[in-house]
Amino acid sequence: MDTYYVDGVFVPEDQAVISVKDLAVLRGFGVFDFLITYNKRPFYLEAHVKRLQNSADKIGLKLNHTGAQICEIVEETVRRNTHHEESNIRILYTGGISSDGVTPEGNGKLLVMVTPKLELPGWWYTDGVKIITLDIERFIPGAKSTNYLSAVWALQQAHQEGAIESIYVDRHHRLLEGTTTNFFFFKEGKLITPPSDILPGITRSVILELVKDHFEVQLRDVHKEELETMEEVFITASNKEVVPVIQIDQTGIGDGKPGEKTRKVMRLFQEYTTAYGQGKV
Ligand SMILES: Cc1ncc(COP(=O)(O)O)c(C=O)c1O
């Protein structure tokens, strides 16, 4: 059985509970972050905790732990789950209990859940996937809040259409990001990804660093009208890493197979995460 951290104590997963009066339950008010391990080492833990703090700042949730304290608790929770080959790590900070059921009072609870890493289908990476677009705008997109109603809804729409992810399109017809992924494409040899109004993905930032010496990169708005001109497309996320995309809505991308440049990005990322797991970077 997995061990979780819940508000000061380590408990077996089936004893991990919070109050039903918590704002996270009543209002979806809380923040979370998610990362995985490579060779049991949490990937970019400090960056994820920093993003958790930023998310909290953006939604007006006061955290009662420093970043260093959260990192230490995460490390300890991972150490208590060494029976996993690799782990998924979810760090969650709830809104806490509120006298009027809506106003935060700064008494949120920190939870750390470490579970076995979920393996994703191999064909995603060898054959490429279909994704769809949906006209949805996230509220405070720079925050990873526990209110992921639009993500849960949008992903159901994707699954109904045989796709694995939905990309949000805003009122200006800008393609922004997926429900839990960032969006990239190649056009005329350049790697392009939206600069703002997205969650700043940790995978995205690592990839932007890794590709610097290999491709010209453009951070700019991406319009839905450009779909037809995209030569290669991929999406990124902590658990999914780099997933090649071969179809968006009804538009086929490239020659229907993961492209050469995308495969290069996948390779660079894999080499980097392997080295990270070995403590070499
Ligand atoms: C809305 C959104 N965009 C992008 C991402 C990708 O971020 P990361 O690479 O840090 O996992 C996520 C992660 O869950 C997300 O929820």
Same domain, 227 and 180: yes
- How sure is the predictor about 166, in pLDDT bands with cuts at 50, 70 and 90? very high
Total number of residues shown for the chain: 281
Domain ranges, residue 142: 123-277
The Å distance, Cα 225 to ligand 1 centre, comes to 24
Same domain, 62 and 133: no
CB-count burial class (<10 Å; 0-12, 13-18, 19+) for 35? buried
Predicted confidence at residue 243, as pLDDT, reads 99
How high is the mean pLDDT of the chain? 98
CA angle in degrees (0–180, nearest 5) for 232-236-241? 110
Q: What is the CATH number for 234?
A: 3.20.10.10
Q: How far apart are CA 4 and CA 113, in angstroms?
A: 5
Q: How far apart are CA 78 and CA 60, in angstroms?
A: 29
**Alpha helices (runs of H) in 107-231, residue ranges in sequence order:** 123-127, 149-160, 202-210
Same domain, 161 and 179: yes
Same domain, 146 and 100: no
CA-nearest residue, atom 14 of ligand 1: 180
- How sure is the predictor about 184, in pLDDT bands with cuts at 50, 70 and 90? very high
Q: How far apart are CA 275 and CA 281, in angstroms?
A: 6
Predicted confidence at residue 27, as pLDDT, reads 97
- Tens of pLDDT, residues 212-260: 999 999 999 999 999 999 999 999 999 999 999 999 999 999 999 999 9
Same domain, 54 and 128: no
- How sure is the predictor about 80, in pLDDT bands with cuts at 50, 70 and 90? very high
Pocket test for ligand 1, best of 34, 139, 180 (most atoms within 8 A of CB): 180
Cα–chain-centroid distance for residue 227? Answer: 23
- How sure is the predictor about 186, in pLDDT bands with cuts at 50, 70 and 90? very high
- Tens of pLDDT, residues 16-48: 999 999 999 999 999 999 999 999 999 999 999
CB burial readout 92-130, b (16+ within 10 A) else e: bbbbbbbeeeeebeeebbbbbbbeebeeeeeebbeebbb
Question: If you average pLDDT over residues 274-279, what whole number do you get?
Answer: 98
Taking a C-beta distance cutoff of 8 angstroms, is the pair 236, 200 a contact?
A: no
Pocket test for ligand 1, best of 118, 179, 181 (most atoms within 8 A of CB): 181
**Alpha helices (runs of H) in 60-198, residue ranges in sequence order:** 67-79, 123-127, 149-160
Same domain, 72 and 144: no
Dihedral of alpha carbons 248, 254, 258, 264, sign? negative
- How sure is the predictor about 133, in pLDDT bands with cuts at 50, 70 and 90? very high
Predicted confidence at residue 233, as pLDDT, reads 98
- Report how many domains make up the chain: 2
Strand, helix or coil for residue 265: helix
Same domain, 55 and 137: no
- How sure is the predictor about 196, in pLDDT bands with cuts at 50, 70 and 90? very high
In the 8-state DSSP scheme, what is residue 230?
-
Q: What is the pTM of this model?
A: 0.97
